[in-house]
Structure formats: C-alpha cells, structure tokens
Amino acid sequence: MADKITLSVIKADVGSISGHYMPHPDQLAAATKVLSEAKQKGLLIDFYVTHVGDDIQLIMTHTKGPDHPDIHGLAWDAFQAATKVAKELKLYAAGQDLLSDAFSGNVRGLGPGVAELEMEERKAEPVITFHADKTEPGAFNLPMYRIFADPFNTAGLVIDPRMHAGFVFEVFDVYEGKSVLLKTPEESYDLLALIGTPGRYIVRRVYRKEDNLLAAVVSVERLNLVAGQYVGKDDPVAIVRAQSGLPAVGEILEAFAFPHLVAGWMRGSHHGPLVPVSMRYARVTRFDGPPRVLALGWNISKGRLIGPADLFDDVAFDETRRLALQIAEYMRRHGPFMPHRLGPEEMEYTTLPEVLERLKNRFVKTEEVKVVKRHSEMLSGEHD
C-alpha cells in the first residue's frame, strides 16, 4: 500500500507591513526558500506559502505523519527566516508568534497554529484548507456544524448513503485541556450545547461515522497547550476533505455564506462578522479587520498539491460580503460596549485587567459613596 500522505498547515504571525496588515513579500520569499530546500532534499513532497492578514501560512505535504519533529522543525526554520527579514526591514511585531527562543521538536504550544491531516489518498482527493485572521479556532464551530451535521446546509446528509449515518465530532475544552466525542445526528443537541460557546469548546476533528474516516481538522494550538492552561486566542486554520461520500465542495463553502459573528478583530477583543475573501482581499484594514477567512481548494495527487483554487473569489459570495460589511458597521457603532467588545471572561486574557487593577482601590462601599458624593457636591457648591 502506498505511504499515507500528511497535509500539514502551520501558520504564524512573525511580523507585518504597516500594523498587523499583511506580511512583506520578502518574508514569504524567505519562508519559500526554506521549504523549497526541504523539498529538494525529499523531506517535503510539495508545499505552498501564502498569507491571510498578518499570518504566514505554510501548506505542506509529506509522509512523516502528524506532529513529526522534522516537519515542525522545518516550519520553525521557515518562520525564523521570515522573522529575520521582518527584523531587517523593521516590520511590525517581528517574530511575534515565536514565543520561545528554543525549538524542542514540536511547534505546539510555542506559538504557531497547526492543523495536520493524515490520509490514504482516495482515487481523487479534493481538500479545502481554510485560513482565518483576527479570530479564534472556535470561529469554525458554526460552519463545521453546518457542513457535517445540518441537512439544511448539506444535502448529502439526506441524499448520499455514505453520509447518511452522520459524523462524529471531537470537541476540545480549552480550559480543561480535555476532549469529548459526540455523534450526530443523535447527540446534536449535546454537541450544540457545547460548541455554542466557541471561546471554550472547539470542534477539533470530525470523523465519518460509517468508517471513522478523518474528514476535518481545526488548529487548536496555543490553546492546547501549555498543559490545559488557556493562554488566549489564535488565528486558526482548518482542513476539510470533500466529495465522494463527504460533503461536496459547494456544501462546505455554503456554510460560510452566512457571515456569523466571531470573537477577535481589534486587539482580539471584539465580536465581528467573519468575511469570506479571495486572496486579493486577504488582509485587514478597518479596525484591524474585519475578521476574514480564505478558502483554498486543492487536489492531492501522490502528495503533490494541485491548486490552489481561490474558492471565495466569486460573485456568489458578494452578498455575504455586503451583509458582513453592514454587520461590521452596526457592531462598530457600539464602540467599547458589549456585545461588540467581548465579555469579561474573555477580556481576562487581554490588557484590560491592568486597567481594572488600577481602579481596584478606588471602589468603596455604597454607604461611603454617599459621603464622598456629599463631599464633592460641597466642593462644587451644588448642595442645597
């Protein structure tokens, strides 16, 4: 039997032109050079380097399997090379996502995001890679549910006998560092009870129930991490296999036709619509956003990456984008108020607690407030 192929998508923000806008072309070239040397040496079968917003995306195929130190080390080297360029050009936030100076065999927990899917190539192997910026891995919860569990989105759940039994979702609790497997359709309500809280419960993998074929993987890195300790949000990537007993490419894309609200955007602290964009618009401007997602279509042929097809580069998504921009305007008008700004639980991982800390000692019991108020009225001469 032929070797299994692993598709590894590893991403990191290691510096950007302007603010957190997009990487410099020289950074992409530096990462490309590192990967192309690895391809020449035979470590990679194929690769593609791109970006969404300020994140460099390494899309790689090989036969080493997931979590392999050679592949993770290679990605680390590529990000180091891009960081070097960022430092030379004095780009913004050079090396931001490389949280450690030392690489120790695996990039998980060190900053980069990782989605890896090992597969036995089918007769034809259509795959979509999703790359999002200014949001968190839970942003894929709603579309993953729609793709694999909602017959109003995916006609194949009703029509195709190979999908009819449904799918199994692995949901990861980022606070506890634990996973649970839930079957659809029979446990759909339990699944929704969890993944409706996308800041905590993340769809990490989806399997076809009939034969346990791994159909989708979402990056949960950084979150995963550091021994179950939640350390904040990360711009996510996802891999979804398509067709022939799995959701069709069009069913997968359909899940993004509704620009749902996700957490992220400015300072990782605001809700905004997830805008499906083409490569041309894979950069962020307004209020450092709005959050966006790129969909690249591939066929994998003995590990070769045939593509990409820039799948959201189509007028069929224009109305989604128009609605998203209206929602962006509506949300922005809330300024610093919830629900535009995230709730206190999630703000804990931002710089807001420092501000609140300064006010801590100025809080007084209600009785004392009256006294203070009387004082200030007396001072301003407003008392009667």
Which positions touch Mg ion (CB under 5 A)? 13, 20, 53-55, 133, 235
- 272 or 307: CB nearest ligand F6R: 272
From ligand F6R, Mg ion, none, interface partner of 268 (C-beta below 5 to 8 A by class): ligand F6R
Separation CA 200–CA 367 (nearest Å): 39
Q: Rule CB under 6 A: say whether 125 interacts with ligand F6R.
A: no
Q: Rule CB under 6 A: say whether 266 interacts with ligand F6R.
A: yes
- 35 or 223: CB nearest ligand F6R: 223
DSSP 17: B
From ligand F6R, Mg ion, none, interface partner of 288 (C-beta below 5 to 8 A by class): ligand F6R
Strand partners, 180: 171
DSSP 283: S
Cβ atoms within 10 Å of 66's Cβ, excluding its own:
15
Q: Rule CB under 6 A: say whether 267 interacts with ligand F6R.
A: yes
Catalytic residue among 48, 201, 207, 230: 230
| Close Cβ partners of 185 (under 8 Å, ≥ 6 residues apart) | 149, 166
CB 160 within 8 A of CB 243: no
Nearest 5°: CA angle at 359, between 354 and 364?
150
Minimum distance between the CB of residue 293 and Mg ion, rounded to whole angstroms? Answer: 12
Closest C-alpha to 293, from 308, 314, 273: 273
Residue set of the binding site:
13, 20, 54-55, 92, 96, 105-106, 133-134, 233-235, 243-244, 267, 288, 349
Dihedral through CA 32, CA 33, CA 39, CA 45, nearest 10? 0
Query: Is 33 considered catalytic here?
Result: no
- 153 or 269: CB nearest Mg ion: 269
Closest C-alpha to 63, from 49, 76, 50, 46: 46
- 85 or 168: CB nearest Mg ion: 85
Minimum distance between the CB of residue 170 and Mg ion, rounded to whole angstroms? Answer: 25
From ligand F6R, Mg ion, none, interface partner of 267 (C-beta below 5 to 8 A by class): ligand F6R
Among 4, 18, 19, 306, binds ligand F6R (CB under 6 A): 19
Residue set of the binding site for Mg(2+):
13, 20, 54-55, 96, 133, 233-235
Residue set of the binding site for beta-D-fructose 1,6-bisphosphate:
20, 92, 105-106, 134, 243-244, 267, 288, 349
From Mg ion, ligand F6R, none, interface partner of 137 (C-beta below 5 to 8 A by class): none
Q: Rule CB under 6 A: say whether 46 interacts with ligand F6R.
A: no
From Mg ion, ligand F6R, none, interface partner of 259 (C-beta below 5 to 8 A by class): none
Separation CA 320–CA 221 (nearest Å): 29
Catalytic residue among 39, 97, 233, 302: 233
Query: 90-117 in b/e burial notation, b at 16+ Cβ within 10 A?
Result: ebbebbbbbeeeebeeebbbbbbbbbbb
Residue set of the binding site for dihydroxyacetone phosphate:
20, 134, 267, 288
Catalytic residue among 3, 4, 13, 201: 13
- 22 or 31: CB nearest ligand F6R: 22
Query: 340-378 in b/e burial notation, b at 16+ Cβ within 10 A?
Result: bbbeeebbebbebeeeeeeeeeeeeeeeeeeeeeeeeee
Query: Is 201 considered catalytic here?
Result: no
Query: Is 230 considered catalytic here?
Result: yes
Cβ atoms within 10 Å of 177's Cβ, excluding its own:
16
Catalytic residue set: 13, 230, 233
Site for ligand F6R, rule CB under 6 A: 19-20, 93, 134, 266-268, 288
